Amino acid sequence: MRFWRAVTASLLGLAISSSAAVLPRCPAPVAAPALEEDASADTAGALRPSTVTPLLPWPTPSKSYCNARCTPIVRKSWRKLTNTEKSKYIAAVQCLAKKKSISGIPGAQNIFDDFQGTHSEQTPAIHWVGHFVLWHRYFVATYEYYLRNLCGYTGAQPYWDWEYDNASGLDMANWSIFSPTTGFGGNGPYQAGDNPFGIPDRTGGGCVPSGPFAFPKFTVNMGPGNSTGYNPHCLTRDFSRPLMKWGSQTNINWVWDTPDYGHFTRRLENVPDFTIPNIHGSGHFGVGGALGTIGDAFNSPGDPLFYLHHANLDRVFWQWQWQKKNLPRSLSEVSGPIIPFDYNNLSGGNVTASFQINIGKLAPNAPLSALLNTQDILCYTYEKP
Ligand SMILES: *[C@@H]1O[C@H](CO)[C@@H](O)[C@H](O)[C@H]1NC(C)=O
Ligand SMILES: *[C@@H]1O[C@H](CO)[C@@H](O)[C@H](O)[C@H]1NC(C)=O
Ligand SMILES: *[C@@H]1O[C@H](CO)[C@@H](O)[C@H](O)[C@H]1NC(C)=O
Ligand SMILES: *[C@@H]1O[C@H](CO)[C@@H](O)[C@H](O)[C@H]1NC(C)=O
Ligand SMILES: CC(=O)N[C@H]1CO[C@H](CO)[C@@H](O)[C@@H]1O
Ligand SMILES: [Cu+2]
């Protein structure tokens, strides 16, 4: 609570007070609101065949490891939200894109842009490093905080469990997440363009034509690439089915089958090679291809789907952490390089629990040790997909 008051203070440009926090007893998660009757319930989930069994069972976070200073909110799968819950989430994102920028990043017009610009500025320092998964955890949790505290959103950040959509057997164009009426809109029309990394079977590249994030209702204000100058343009998508298929239960199981944090996060990112699967790449390049916003390493948070994709990666991490056999180590240990790809620790050494990350002006700096447990300064948990 106190910590997030400091975030609010940073939001309002106030000085951050550092009074010592008293840890209350671990509160129970907020009960998920009763699902409204919803005739349009997701077909992808309903059609899920039991093909691949998750390697790890659903965990129950133990209260003895919980330092939460508040009552944890419960993140749910996008598929499981009612249409009303979906439209409230989307309305909150649209609201954030109307709130005046606070980051000082040149092209940022609004707070949605502040997140995109902050990611863009740090892109060279937060991928293929030991802090990758925790930096993105903090980033998404701060976005969730802003949606709730600036835009009146009362739910938690939903996650996109692409492994379920994959198991549905439906073509991705038919996945409910891409619905123009109850989702984020779909692919852009095909457009020829550069494909320097040889993304296979790219099928779009143009502007998302309909839905809540179609141009000019919604604009991506910076990029492409590392430029943070003002350059309003449409949200683009460029579906690549072969790369979207990386987001499967089989590949999650492979990431899960690791003994410690360092091996886990390394498998989560794997290598930047479009012939080798990695689940982080699935949502980015399966949806973003070569010309789509979410496939742009700098500006991927310019696509609102970024936050649902990263929430799912975070859920995969969370589920791995809370397995009994991984505790308590998984709530205290970090490793992996400070310098991207320095896995042999030749240039910069490994991150440690006291390693500080920052997300610019959006929230106070935080040590990795404070982010390992989602019920510490952060305050959320997950509902089973
Ligand atoms: C799901 O992933 C598997 C394994 O990559 C693939 O064979 C299958 O075609 C995918 N299904 C869909 C609907 O994308
Ligand atoms: C998927 O969507 C396409 C249009 O994008 C439609 O023609 C097709 O029938 C749909 N398939 C299923 C299985 O719903
Ligand atoms: C962006 O990338 C170009 C080319 O790699 C580089 O010269 C430039 O310094 C970068 N700009 C920023 C703001 O990082
Ligand atoms: C650095 O982190 C990597 C990845 O977790 C680990 O394998 C390695 O042992 C660590 N290096 C040292 C010297 O601790
Ligand atoms: C954590 C770790 O192993 N750090 C070492 C990485 O390598 C440098 C020298 O290159 C050492 O000083 C660090 O202790
Ligand atoms: Cu990133």
Residue 27 in domain: no
Residue-wise pLDDT tens digits, 195-239: 999 999 999 999 999 999 999 999 999 999 999 999 999 999 999
Name beta bridge partners: 220: 233
The counts of H helices and E strands in the chain are: 11, 4
Residue 352 reports pLDDT greater than 50: yes
Element (H, E) at 371: none
Task: Write out pLDDT tens, residues 177-207.
Answer: 999 999 999 999 999 999 999 999 999 999 9
CA of 281 to the centre of ligand 4 (A): 24
Given this model, what pLDDT does residue 21 score?
Answer: 35
Considering the domain boundaries, does residue 250 fall inside one?
yes
Interatomic CA distance for residues 132 and 135, integer angstroms = 5
The alpha carbon of 204 and the centre of ligand 4 are apart by a number of angstroms equal to 40
d(CA 380, CA 383): 10
Residues 324-345 pLDDT 10s: 999 999 999 999 999 999 998 8
Pocket of ligand 2 (CB under 6 A): 170-171, 173-174
In a domain, residue 189? The reply is: yes
pLDDT confidence tier of residue 2, bands split at 50, 70 and 90: low
Pocket test for ligand 5, best of 342, 346, 350 (most atoms within 8 A of CB): 350
What is the rounded CA–CA span in Å between residue 219 and residue 231?
9
Residue 10 lies in a domain: no
Give the CATH number for residue 343: 1.10.1280.10
Atom of ligand 1 nearest to the CA of 244: 14
* Ligand 4 centroid from CA 327, angstroms: 19
Report yes or no on 31 lying in a domain. no
Count of domains in the chain?
Answer: 1
Ligand 4 interacting residues, C-beta cut-off 6 A: 262, 335-336, 345, 350
Does residue 36 form part of some domain?
Answer: no
Token readout for 377 is 């300064």
The answer on pLDDT for 280 being more than 50 is yes
pTM (two decimals): 0.89
Residue 374 covered by a domain: yes
The residue whose CA has the least distance to atom 6 of ligand 1 is 245
Which structural domain range is residue 77 located in?
42-382
State in Å: Cα 340 to ligand 3 middle. 17
Q: Of 81, 100, 72, 128, whose CA–CA distance to 273 is shortest?
A: 128
Q: Higher model confidence: residue 347 or residue 94?
A: 94
* pLDDT above 80: residue 288: yes
Is 144 domain-assigned?
yes
* Per-residue pLDDT at 22 exceeds 50: no
